[in-house]
Amino acid sequence: MLSKDSLEFLEDLKNNNNRDWFLENKKKYEVFKKDYQQLVADFLDTMKPLDPSLEMLEVKNCTFRINRDIRFSKDKSPYKSHLGVWLSSGTKGHNRAGYYVHIEKGASFIAGGFYAPEAADLKKVRKEIAYFHEDLEKILNEKNFKKEFGDFDRNEKSILKNAPRDYEKDHPAIELLKLKSFETSQPFDISEVAKKDFVSKMSKKLILLKPLNEFINRALTSEEF
């Protein structure tokens, strides 16, 4: 859970997203930062026994800096007014699927899978789907997965209009092969964050994504040895 003060800090930062205000409220930020780190620690304590691939993770591996990278953005707001928790076995230079928690008023959600992979990784995942699509279809059709997440998140930007290069348009898994991103998500109301059972409740949902993450990570590591 996050304290009421931390949630208020995020909302105040959203309404006063400038360096002067941030510096004037540096003490509030320090309290928020400790609260954030404790939330991540609680997720790690809960998720590690459920997914051993996360065992080596520390809090610092799962948090994000509050400063925004504004070099190529039209939005020049210097700070993030949301909070993210990323749990993944990936390391620098080796992207992996994982679990994500996003906390933001009006836009909070949990998610998992592999978001917008680079070309080389996308090729590996598609190859795995082409040969073992029955495995993936079984994961996506599992009762509890279906109930909580439904399917992959799909939109115009994440799906090719035609079959990808090297694959026939009548491939039995063509709709999966057209995907350019392999994540699924579920929204939640930010009021959940302040409840004592927030971490345990969300972890029970997130762990349903473990088979999906394992399928994707199997594809990403299959050619590394």
The domain ranges of the chain are: 4-221
DSSP state for residue 128 in the 8-state scheme: H
Whole-number pLDDT of residue 225: 40
pLDDT of amino acid 68: 92
Listed in sequence order, the residues at least 6 apart from 127 whose beta carbon sits closer than 8 Å to its beta carbon are 219
Give all strands (DSSP E) within 66-201, no chain letters: 83-88, 98-103, 109-114, 182-187
Cα separation of 63 and 48, whole Å? Answer: 16
| Distance separating alpha carbons of residues 46 and 48, to the nearest angstrom | 6
C-beta separation of 210 from 144 below 8 A = no
Cα distance between residue 214 and residue 113, in whole Å: 9
| Sign of the dihedral defined by the CA atoms of residues 69, 74, 80, 82, in that order | negative
Q: How confident is the model at residue 27, as a pLDDT?
A: 97
pLDDT at 223: 61
Mean pLDDT, 10 residues at a time, over the chain (225 residues)? Answer: 94 96 97 98 98 96 94 89 95 87 97 96 97 98 97 93 94 97 98 96 98 97 63
In whole angstroms, how far apart are CA 208 and each of 27, 55, 71, 187, 221? Answer: 38, 18, 37, 15, 21
Give the model's pLDDT for residue 72.
82
Cα–Cα nearest to 130, from 79, 76, 166, 100: 166
Task: Report the pLDDT value the prediction gives residue 75, as an integer from 0 to 100.
Answer: 86
Provide the whole-model pTM.
0.94
